[in-house]
Every structure is written in structure tokens, then in C-alpha cells.
Amino acid sequence: SAEPNEGKSTIVSNLAVTLAQTGLRVVVVDGDLRLPTIHAIFNIPNTVGFGDVLKGSARLEDAIVKSWKIQGLSVLPSGGPFEHPAELLASTTTGPVLADLAQRFDVVLVDSPALLALADALSLATEIPDVLVVVGRSQTKKEALISVRKQLTGIGAHPLGIVVNRSEEVPSYPTTAVSCT
């Protein structure tokens, strides 16, 4: 997302659950090493995770948590806390760790901090083939979206699309709620 509190973590979590329920092997990576939330959404410990694997202090196999409720869903919490998260995400280990996950799973979803708030998200975006941007309806300004697009294309990232969160429900359109836990 462009800015904090636009619903990235919720969207990523719901998308992961939905994809896993179709039979795909899905892993959610909490790439927000400063304010992680994925572990809380899925009610798992955050003692060892992505940042620890990047640092070399944990093995990937030991950091991944498999869901006991949803077949095919796994979570890689952030771990931490970490002294220099931006440098850790920009390290030479990030690409190989994400590539390893791509070999193990059908879908790798990475939750990141807001793009305009910190350099962390751009560091991650350089290692991810497609980026889905979450925007809060009536929250994200057009200028912020233009800036996000420029930054992503400037580093060679591929913006896949936009998810508009907190949009008004259309009364005649049927909706289905999906639970993350």
C-alpha cells in the first residue's frame, strides 16, 4: 500500500486463505520487520521468522508454521525484533530465500510495510515478480498512487494491480465473508 493502515495484512491473509482453500500450497511471509501483524492474525508465535532466516540465525524449515486449520496454508512470521530492518531486507539473502519459498509453494504472498513510509517495501519489491497494491477507499490520495507506481516501475517491479479496500457494499451484489483463523 502507499500508506499505513490501508488493510494490507488483512487482504494478504484473506487472499492466502482463499487460495489455500482451492487446493494451492500457499505461504504468507510477514515482510514487515518493524510492525509485524501476520502472526497475530493467524494466532501463531513470532519468535523465529523471516528476518531470522535472512540473518542466518534460523533455517527456513524451522521458521515456517503450517496451519492446522487450513490445509495447504503456511505462515512465515517476521521474527525479531531487528536492529536494522531495511538493511536486512536489502541484503543479498532476501532474493534466494524468496526463491526457495517459490520452489516449495505454489503461491508466495509477502506482506510489507507501506511503500511511501519506509524503504523496506521497495527492498522487498525488487525481489518479487508481481506487486499487488492495496489502497484504502477515501484514504489513499491519487498523488500517492502515482508516486507508488513511479517507485515500483523505477526499480523494475511489476505492479500487478490494485485492491480497493473498505469500499462500500453494493446492495444487489452478493458477498461472502472469509475468516482468516
With cut-offs at 50, 70 and 90, classify the pLDDT of residue 115: confident
User: Is residue 181, in this structure, part of any structural domain at all?
Assistant: no
CATH of the domain at 15: 3.40.50.300
Q: What pTM does this model have?
A: 0.82
Could you give the dihedral angle defined by the CA atoms of residues 129, 6, 118 and 49, in that order, rounded to the nearest 10 degrees? -70
Name the residue range of residue 15's domain: 8-165
Whether pLDDT at 168 is above 80: no
User: Is residue 179, in this structure, part of any structural domain at all?
Assistant: no
Instruction: Kindly state the average pLDDT of the residues 49-71.
Output: 96
User: Which of the two residues, 168 and 2, has the higher pLDDT score?
Assistant: 168
CA distance linking residue 57 with residue 51, whole number of Å: 9
Q: What angle do CA 174, 177, 179 make, to 5 degrees?
A: 165
What's the first-to-final CA gap in the chain, in angstroms?
Answer: 23
Instruction: Kindly state the average pLDDT of the residues 165-180.
Output: 54
C-alpha cell at 80: 525479531
Whether pLDDT at 181 is above 70: no
For the chain, how many structural domains are there in total? 1
User: Is residue 60, in this structure, part of any structural domain at all?
Assistant: yes
Instruction: Kindly state the average pLDDT of the residues 56-82.
Output: 96
Cα maximum dimension of the chain: 52
With cut-offs at 50, 70 and 90, classify the pLDDT of residue 2: very low
Strands 73-76 and 65-66: antiparallel
With a pLDDT cut of 70, the percent of the chain lying above it is: 80
The pLDDT tens digits for 122-140 are 888 889 888 777 776 666 6
